[in-house]
Amino acid sequence: MYILTNAMKNLLRNKGRNILIAAVTLVIIVSTVVTLTIGNASSKIIEDTRLRIGSKVNIDVDLAERGRLEKTGGMPEVGIDDFFSYAQSDYLSKSIFSVQLYLYSSTTFAVGDDSKGQSEWESWDGSSKSKAATIMLIGSSDPDILSDFFTGGARGIMPGGRMFGGLNECIISYDLAELNGISVGDMIVTTSIFVEPEQTFELSVVGVYSDKTEAWPGPAYEDANFFLFNRRNEVITSLETVMSRGFETDQGMEMHAEYYLKNPDNISKFEAEVRAKGLHPDYSVSINQEELDEITAPLSGMAGITSTFMFIILILGGIVLILLSFIAVRERKYEVGVLRAMGMEKAKVAAGILAEAIIISVICLFIGLGIGSAAAQPIADSILSGQVEIAAEETKAKSEDLKFLVMNGKTQFIAGLHGYTPISEIQVELDAKTIAQISMIALALAALSGVIGIAVITKYEPLKILRERN
Amino acid sequence: MKCLELADVSYRYEGSTEYVLKNISAAFDSGKVYTVVGESGAGKSTLLSLISGLDVCKEGDVYYDGKNLRELDRDDYRAKCVGVIFQGYNLLINSTAVYNITLSMNISESEIMGRRAKKEAAFALLNKVGIDRETADRKILYLSGGEQQRVGIARALSHNPDVIIADEPTGNLDAETESEVLKILTRLAHEDGKCVIIVTHSENVTAIADEIIGIHAGNLIAGEKYRENSAFHGENGHERTKTIRENEQ
DSSP-assigned letters across all residues of chain B: -EEEEEEEEEEE-TT--SEEEEEEEEEEETT-EEEEEESTTSSHHHHHHHHTTSS--SEEEEEETTEEGGGS-HHHHHHHTEEEE-TT----TTSBHHHHHHHHHHHTT-S--SHHHHHHHHHHHHHHTT--HHHHTSBGGGS-HHHHHHHHHHHHHTT--SEEEEESTTTTS-HHHHHHHHHHHHHHHHTT--EEEEE---HHHHHH-SEEEEEETTEEEEHHHHHH-GGGTT--HHHHHHHHHHHH-
**A283 part of a folded domain:** no
Domain shared by A98 and A241, yes or no: yes
Measured between CA atoms, the residue of chain A closest to residue B94 is: A13
**Which residue(s) pair with B28 in the sheet?**
B4
What pLDDT is stored for residue B41 in this prediction? 78
Do B228 and B238 meet the contact criterion of CB atoms below 8 Å apart?
no
Domain boundaries, position A424: 2-54+294-469
pLDDT-based confidence at residue A105 (cuts at 50, 70, 90): confident
Cβ distance B92 to A338 less than 8 Å, yes or no, reads yes
pLDDT tens for A112-156 read 776 655 555 555 455 555 445 566 777 777 666 566 676 667 888
Q: What is the ipTM of this complex?
A: 0.84
Domain shared by A212 and A305, yes or no: no
Domain shared by A211 and A331, yes or no: no
Looking at chain A from residue 177 to 236, which residues have their Cβ under 8 Å from any Cβ of chain B? none
Domain shared by A250 and A352, yes or no: no
Cβ distance B78 to A470 less than 8 Å, yes or no, reads no
Amino acid identity, residue A376? A
- Smallest CA–CA distance, residue B233 to chain A, in Å, is 24
pLDDT tens for A244-301 read 877 666 667 777 788 888 888 888 999 999 999 888 888 888 887 777 777 777 778 8
Domain shared by A251 and A376, yes or no: no
Looking at chain A from residue 3 to 22, which residues have their Cβ under 8 Å from any Cβ of chain B? 6, 9, 13-14
Provide the residue-wise pLDDT of chain B in tens; the chain has 249 residues. 788 999 999 998 888 888 888 888 889 999 999 999 888 778 888 888 899 998 888 889 999 989 999 999 989 999 999 999 988 888 998 899 999 999 999 998 887 888 889 999 999 999 988 899 999 999 999 998 888 988 998 999 898 899 999 988 887 778 887 888 888 889 889 998 999 999 988 888 888 889 988 888 777 776 555 555 544 444 443 444 444 344 444
Which of B76, B88, B94 is nearest residue A343 as measured by Cβ atoms?
Answer: B76
What pLDDT is stored for residue A404 in this prediction? 34
**A190 part of a folded domain:** yes
Kindly list the structural domains of chain B, giving each domain's residue range(s) and its CATH number in brackets, ordered by start. 2-81+162-248 (3.40.50.300), 91-160 (no CATH)
In percent, the amount of chain A with pLDDT more than 70 equals 79
Domain shared by A205 and A335, yes or no: no
DSSP-assigned letters across all residues of A193-237: ESSSS--EEEEEEEEEEEE-S-SSSSHHHHHTT-GGG-GGGEEEE
- Residue B55 sits at the chain A interface (C-beta within 8 Å): yes
Domain shared by A40 and A102, yes or no: no
Q: What angle do CA A215, A217, A218 make, to 5 degrees?
A: 105
Q: Which of A220, A244, A261 is the last residue before a domain boundary?
A: A261
**A210 part of a folded domain:** yes
Cβ distance B86 to A341 less than 8 Å, yes or no, reads yes
Q: Which of A243, A261, A279 is the last residue before a domain boundary?
A: A261
Looking at chain A from residue 321 to 340, which residues have their Cβ under 8 Å from any Cβ of chain B? 335, 337-340
Cβ distance B75 to A6 less than 8 Å, yes or no, reads no
Count of domains observed in chain A? 2
Domain shared by A180 and A320, yes or no: no
